[in-house]
Amino acid sequence: MKIESLTSICVFCIGVLCSLTGCNSTDDERIPNMAVSINLSDAGLWNHYGVSGFGIPQYFIKALRQPAGFAYLDRTMTGFGGVLLIGGFDYRINDVAPLAYDLACPVERKQDVRVKVDPDSFEAICPVCGSKYDVTMGAGAPISGPAASLHYGLRAYRCIPNGTGYIITN
């Protein structure tokens, strides 16, 4: 077999492989990348505003001053639509840990269209398009609805252990 033919076959196979794997990837960057900085590193703050177990959510929306009583500082930022903090399974550390996502639905792409966690299924659900996202074990991946067919996932944020609590950032 000629080198040119072998090279053509290899290029073709690589192209097919790339197109097949590209269809399964999730786009989690549809929501604008805006600053996120929530400091819950103090034990008192973490115990009051953090998450204490698997599937338990907390919502941080600076514009609405949620949660009530949380002291928002000038440097506190909550992303595009707000921040969902939830207890889930983090595969990077292979343990239960807090996970964070932007609350804005990536299908709707509006700051005021926010997902809400269903307390029975622990899935985040968009009240407008009905898309469901796995926020406890699937890194914000779409489960059903328009987001699943479009492969739109929630924008994830980092929860960095600090002292007796966490700092949520991007």
**Could you tell me the domains of the chain?**
29-169 (2.102.10.10)
Mean pLDDT of 138-146: 95
Kindly give the pairing relationship between strand 123-125 and strand 132-134.
Answer: antiparallel
Tokens of 147: 């987001």
pLDDT tens digits, one per residue of 91-121: 888 888 999 999 999 999 999 999 999 999 9
Mean pLDDT of 41-45: 91
Better pLDDT: 13 or 126: 126
pLDDT at 24: 58
Q: Is the pLDDT of residue 33 over 60?
A: yes
Mean pLDDT of 152-166: 93
Q: Is the pLDDT of residue 130 over 80?
A: yes
Report how far residue 92's alpha carbon sits from residue 85's, in angstroms, rounded to the nearest whole number: 17
pTM exceeds 0.85, yes or no: no
Sheet holding 83-90, edge to edge: 57-60, 83-90, 95-102, 156-162, 165-169, 36-40, 77-78
Average pLDDT, the chain: 87
Contact (CB, 8 A) for 28 and 153? yes
Tokens of 98: 């807090």
Tokens of 5: 């033919």
